[in-house]
Amino acid sequence: MAVLKIERKVLEKNDEIADEIRKELKSRKTFTLNLVSSPGSGKTTLLEQTISRLKPTHSISVIEGDVQTDIDAQRIDKLGVPVSQIVTNGSCHLEADMVRDAFEQLRHVSSQFLFIENVGNLVCTADFDLGEDLKVAVLSVTEGEEKPLKYPAMFRVAGVLIITKTDLVPYLGVSLETFRKNALTINPDLVVFEVSSKTGEGVDAWVSWLKQQVR
């Protein structure tokens, strides 16, 4: 019982900080997305493709979360957008206080979009609000059609699902229709995109949707 009380207090404190972050970002007219997925889904590659298409017309900043190293942050930095790194040193998810501290490095930047790339994890990341406008679940076709059914909490709280690596479908014997069906069974309100960062297919549709959110 004490464990439950402690967990509740941790989440309550996290939510308080997340609300503070959200209010500030809204006052700055910054649309904030929390990208969540399993490790290896292609989040960073998708983010690179997204930034490349948005950058000519929109201002962007990024908070990168990782268990160790700043490899992904280095990749984003090469695109010429402001990026702040969070190294969790073993923690399997980002928390609102981490994002608040990372945002201090970006406070001088005025951005229309803030992308938070979370640690690769579909469990803990579902519970922690980071002050985002919406969670974007990234699911690669290599993970299996049943993934939304195995991790329903994440797909229930997400607003968008991006199915990645669709260029591999012919080699895997999987069905994009089944991926969508399983995800929409959990959350019928999901906005679903199917993309291949390798070929670029579907990325423009995703970016066009993003632009509509800040108009």
pTM exceeds 0.85, yes or no: yes
Q: What is the 3-state secondary structure (H, E, C) of 53-83?
A: HHCCCCCEEEEEEECCCCHHHHHHHCCCCCE
Res. 163: pLDDT tops 60: yes
Q: Is the torsion defined by CA of 166, 113, 36, 44 positive or negative?
A: positive
d(CA 52, CA 12): 37
Segment 4-21 shows an average pLDDT of 83
Range of the structural domain that residue 111 is part of: 2-213
Domains: count for the chain: 1
Res. 92: pLDDT tops 90: no
**What is the CATH classification number for the domain harbouring 174?**
3.40.50.300
Res. 101: pLDDT tops 60: yes
**Cα dihedral 91/130/201/190 (nearest 10):** 110
Q: Which amino acid is at 181?
A: K
pLDDT by residue (tens digit) across 169-189?
999 999 999 999 999 999 999
The pairing of beta strand 191-194 with beta strand 83-87: unpaired
More confident residue, 38 or 2: 38
- pLDDT band for position 1 (50/70/90)? very low
